[in-house]
Amino acid sequence: MVRNVADIRNLAICGHGNAGKTSLVDQLLVLSGAVNSKPSVEAGTSICDFDEEEKHHKHSVEASVVHFDHAGKRINLIDTPGYPDLVGQMIGALRAVETALITVDAHAGIKVNTRRAWNEAGKAGCGRIIVLTKLDTDNINFAELVDSIKEVFGTGCALLNVPLGLGDSVHGVASTLEIPGDVGDAVIDPKSIHEALVESIIEVDEAVMERYFEGEMPATAELTKLMVQAIAAGTLTPIVCVSTKKEVGLNELMDLLANVALPPDAITRQGTKDGDTVTLKPDPSAPLSAQVFKTRIDPFVHRLSFLRVFSGTLKKDATIEVAGARKGFKIGPLLSVQGEHTEPVDEAGPGEIVAIAKCEDLHTGSSIGEVQLPPLKFPTPMVGLAVAPKTRGDESKLSGALHKITEEDPTIHIEHDAETKEMVLTGMSDLHLNLIRERLKRRDHVEVEAKEPKIPYRETIQTNAEGSYRHKKQSGGAGQFAEIHVRMFPLPEGTDIEEFATKDRFPHLKSHHFEERSHFLWVDSVVGGTIPGNFMPAIEKGFHERIKQGVVAGYPIQNVCVEVHYGKDHPVDSNETAFKIAASRVLAEVFKQAKPGLLEPVVNLHVTIPADNVGDVSSDLSGRRGQMVGMDTVGGGMTTIEAKVPLAEVSTYARTLSSMTGGQGSYTMEFSHYDVVPGNVQQEIISQAKLKEDED
């Protein structure tokens, strides 16, 4: 039977590592009666942290789906990892929910991933509730903590309850909405907060606000209903207090999730169909629309695709359509998920979260139904490792294992680099990559050797040059002959190719061919048939071979224009092979005369750090040939620095930043452009390339 949409609540629990998210979820499952055991992260018996890596490290690595029932509501919770390195799991989870439960360690305060969770929840359009955890720890400055939350996340953050006692003496919470009689040991007097809280709630309804200021106090039920609207509008973010260890505030939290967390119809979901925007209706009789928000590959149940149904009804053994696929396909049983355990269900309606097993046609982000839902946008990984199997002959095994990894984690990329002949595994950080290596060893029984990948430099020229090359080979029988004359020009990034190719510089232009990826242009301006047209494809092939090989250091050539303007052939000895060889050689010879140089990839770096570390980080970036672009205060004593830095200088930046900031710093980076390598650095790179060539 399809569950009533109004009785479903979907939440992702997010925040920084060690804020107690998983322990909190475990305890909610126990208190609600959903599980009978006594789960523990420390003991390795958590309902959510069931993976071997999670048990070993004692923190979440993957998002885990669980559920419980309370006050007539089905509450689906997705527990997400707390480390910024594993942010992809949080991004996927937020697509499947309406509310983000953001945890803040009451002792440690707002951390890097707390901000990230807040921002990602906003991007996903989710309502937000802040949960202050670990109120049983010592040395908590509660008033300062609440002030910092309002400073960083806005004045819409309001306490719905306050703790009775702190640290070891915490024993309960007092509501600021319905003030109880005895609040003598409340950390903050609930009465001092009550009026401001009510006013922040009723802002969403002008009629209620008018009655309130005329002296009519809204009933609690009306305020609760308005709270849902205010959370959906983003004008209110409730703050609630808990201690999992002391079991304080947990029943109040469950009541809040049932009554105030957003229902599935609180957020308008849209997609596209045949180019038109379509609004989805959370109606079980409407056309089916669902999306895969997570993929897990398990050695026992194989592949699990986790789905959120937004519209219509999904039934077991149904034939479904996947947006973008040419034809539909039949699925197997639907599964209700509780951590690592699954149970078959017959159908799932709007708001439900289920899984499908062994469906190779589904991938993270896949839209089910005729409507194409917005794609999941994951950050681009920039920290890489060149990997190879430790055991010879395991190449195929490693390739298959890495394919599974990329299916599970969209923030992991695999690239077989044709330039460097390396398999490069790219992730969010060193920690992220180490966890992947552990998984490869445990699950797929393949160990890898890893080293820092080569930087993808490029070769280019800085001035014009011209020259020729004659290829002549005679050794009995038919010989080889080809002669090619070329002119070479720098082709800076951003050049208008059409304008460049049709300038007076090429008065006899016959055709031009532009290679987008390498920004390479070659121009045919041969007149009088000095090179027969049937040899031009062979010349192009020779150019492309040389572009890939490079000339001065073995790196691909980029930002170059070559004009073929004259040549000679032989009626018997000329052939395609001869002209291909001549093209490769003439490009190399003239390239050396055109003041060759190296280009290096430059990245945009965004570094968020404590304000006290700005000087050290700025100085360090300058020493890495970084160019400061801007600086911005982001609240909570944190500052973001923006800089452009050569990738070679920050390929292992995570370690340095962690050391400088005591683990408080975080950064993101994305490719910006290629720039000329300074002369001293260039000479070192070329020398190392020649040394390696001699060794080979």
44-73 average pLDDT score: 93
pLDDT band at 655 (very low <50, low <70, confident <90, very high): confident
At 155, is the secondary structure helix, strand, or coil?
coil
- Give yes or no for residue 419 having a pLDDT over 70: no
Number of domains in the chain: 5
Residues 6+ apart with CB under 8 A from 594: 461, 462, 463, 464, 465, 488, 490
pLDDT tens string 247-286:
999 999 999 999 999 999 999 999 998 889 999 999 999 9
105 occurs within a structural domain:
yes
The pTM of the full predicted model, rounded to 2 decimals, is: 0.79
Are 29 and 47 contacting, i.e. CB atoms less than 8 angstroms apart? Answer: yes
Residues 6+ apart with CB under 8 A from 421: none
63 occurs within a structural domain:
yes
Question: Tokens 């953001």 label which residue?
Answer: 102
pLDDT tens string 468-480:
999 998 776 678 9
18-38 average pLDDT score: 96
Q: Are residues 262 and 319 in the same domain?
A: no
What is the rounded distance in angstroms from the CA atom of residue 265 to the CA atom of residue 457?
Answer: 51
- Give yes or no for residue 5 having a pLDDT over 60: yes
Q: Are residues 254 and 280 in the same domain?
A: no
158-168 average pLDDT score: 95
DSSP secondary structure string, 224-266? HHHHHHHHHHTS-EEEEE-BTTTTBSHHHHHHHHHHTSPPGGG
What is the rounded distance in angstroms from the CA atom of residue 178 to the CA atom of residue 198?
Answer: 10
pLDDT tens string 568-608:
999 989 999 999 999 999 999 999 999 999 999 898 998 98
Question: What's phi and psi for 379, nearest 5 deg?
Answer: -65, 150
SS3 readout for 66-123:
EEEEECCEEEEEEECCCCHHHHHHHHHHHHCCCEEEEEEECCCECCHHHHHHHHHHHH
Cα dihedral: 655, 656, 657, 659 (round 10): 90
Domain boundary, last residue among 421, 454, 487: 454
Q: In 329-378, where does DSSP find H-type helix?
A: none
Domain boundary, last residue among 554, 572, 594: 594
At 664, is the secondary structure helix, strand, or coil?
coil
Question: Tokens 């959906």 label which residue?
Answer: 232
The pairing of strands 157-159 and 73-79 is unpaired
What is the pLDDT, as a whole number, of residue 298? 77
Cα dihedral: 431, 294, 39, 263 (round 10): 130
Are 151 and 144 contacting, i.e. CB atoms less than 8 angstroms apart? Answer: no
What is the pLDDT, as a whole number, of residue 581? 96
Q: Are residues 481 and 580 in the same domain?
A: yes
550 occurs within a structural domain:
yes
208 occurs within a structural domain:
no
| 111-115, 366-370, 535-539: range with lowest mean pLDDT | 111-115
What is the rounded distance in angstroms from the CA atom of residue 226 to the CA atom of residue 140?
Answer: 32
What whole-number percentage of the chain has pLDDT above 90? 65
Contacts 24+ apart (CB under 8 A), 143-151: 143/187, 143/188, 145/104, 145/106, 145/109, 146/188, 146/239, 148/109, 148/110, 148/636, 149/104, 149/110, 149/239, 151/635, 151/636
Q: Are residues 65 and 140 in the same domain?
A: yes
- Give yes or no for residue 300 having a pLDDT over 70: no
What is the rounded distance in angstroms from the CA atom of residue 579 to the CA atom of residue 524?
Answer: 14
pLDDT band at 418 (very low <50, low <70, confident <90, very high): low
Give the DSSP letter of residue 431: H
CATH of the domain at 481: 3.30.230.10
Q: What is the residue type of 286?
A: A
At 223, is the secondary structure helix, strand, or coil?
helix
Q: Are residues 143 and 259 in the same domain?
A: yes
The pairing of strands 367-368 and 353-357 is unpaired
pLDDT band at 420 (very low <50, low <70, confident <90, very high): low
433-457 average pLDDT score: 87
- 112 or 219, which is more confident: 219
688 occurs within a structural domain:
no
What is the rounded distance in angstroms from the CA atom of residue 424 to the CA atom of residue 433?
Answer: 11
Instruction: Give the max Cα distance, the chain.
Output: 110
- Give yes or no for residue 181 having a pLDDT over 80: no
Q: Are residues 73 and 151 in the same domain?
A: yes
- Give yes or no for residue 205 having a pLDDT over 70: yes
- Give yes or no for residue 64 having a pLDDT over 90: yes
What is the rounded distance in angstroms from the CA atom of residue 274 to the CA atom of residue 674?
Answer: 38
What is the pLDDT, as a whole number, of residue 1? 65
Contacts 24+ apart (CB under 8 A), 331-334: 331/356, 331/359, 332/356, 332/357, 332/358, 332/359, 333/357
pLDDT tens string 365-389:
999 998 999 999 998 776 778 898 9
The count of other CB atoms within 10 Å of the CB of residue 437 is: 18
Which domain, by its residues, includes 420? 383-454
Tokens of 29: 């499952």
pLDDT band at 417 (very low <50, low <70, confident <90, very high): low
Buried b (16+ CB within 10 A) or exposed e, 368-389: bbebbbeebebbebbbbbbbeb
CATH of the domain at 51: 3.40.50.300
306-331 average pLDDT score: 89
Tokens of 68: 């419980």
Are 188 and 159 contacting, i.e. CB atoms less than 8 angstroms apart? Answer: yes
What is the rounded distance in angstroms from the CA atom of residue 618 to the CA atom of residue 631?
Answer: 10
Q: Are residues 259 and 123 in the same domain?
A: yes
Q: Are residues 417 and 502 in the same domain?
A: no
**Which residues does residue 663 pair with via DSSP β-bridges, in sequence order?**
none
What is the pLDDT, as a whole number, of residue 638? 84
E strand or H helix that includes residue 617: helix 614-623
Q: What is the residue type of 202?
A: I
275 occurs within a structural domain:
yes
CATH of the domain at 299: 2.40.30.10
Q: Are residues 304 and 417 in the same domain?
A: no
Residue 552 CA to chain centroid, in angstroms? 36
Domain boundary, last residue among 310, 335, 368: 368
What whole-number percentage of the chain has pLDDT above 70? 97
Q: Are residues 557 and 426 in the same domain?
A: no
260 occurs within a structural domain:
yes
SS3 readout for 33-55:
CCCCCCCCCCCCCCCCCCCHHHH
CATH of the domain at 632: 3.30.70.240
The pairing of strands 289-298 and 347-348 is unpaired
Question: What's phi and psi for 349, nearest 5 deg?
Answer: -105, -170
308-336 average pLDDT score: 89
Q: Are residues 584 and 610 in the same domain?
A: no
315 occurs within a structural domain:
yes
SS3 readout for 539-573:
HHHHHHHHHHHCCCCCCCECCEEEEEEEEECCCCC
What is the pLDDT, as a whole number, of residue 311? 96
The count of other CB atoms within 10 Å of the CB of residue 327 is: 7
Question: What's phi and psi for 302, nearest 5 deg?
Answer: 65, -130
- Give yes or no for residue 663 having a pLDDT over 90: no
Burial class (CB in 10 A: 0-12, 13-18, 19+), 151: middle
What is the pLDDT, as a whole number, of residue 290? 96
Angle at 268 between CA 263 and CA 272, to 5 degrees: 135
Are 239 and 153 contacting, i.e. CB atoms less than 8 angstroms apart? Answer: no
Residues 6+ apart with CB under 8 A from 391: 446, 447
pLDDT band at 84 (very low <50, low <70, confident <90, very high): confident
Average pLDDT of the chain? 91
At 686, is the secondary structure helix, strand, or coil?
helix
What is the pLDDT, as a whole number, of residue 170? 96
Q: Are residues 262 and 339 in the same domain?
A: no
Question: What's phi and psi for 340, nearest 5 deg?
Answer: -90, -5
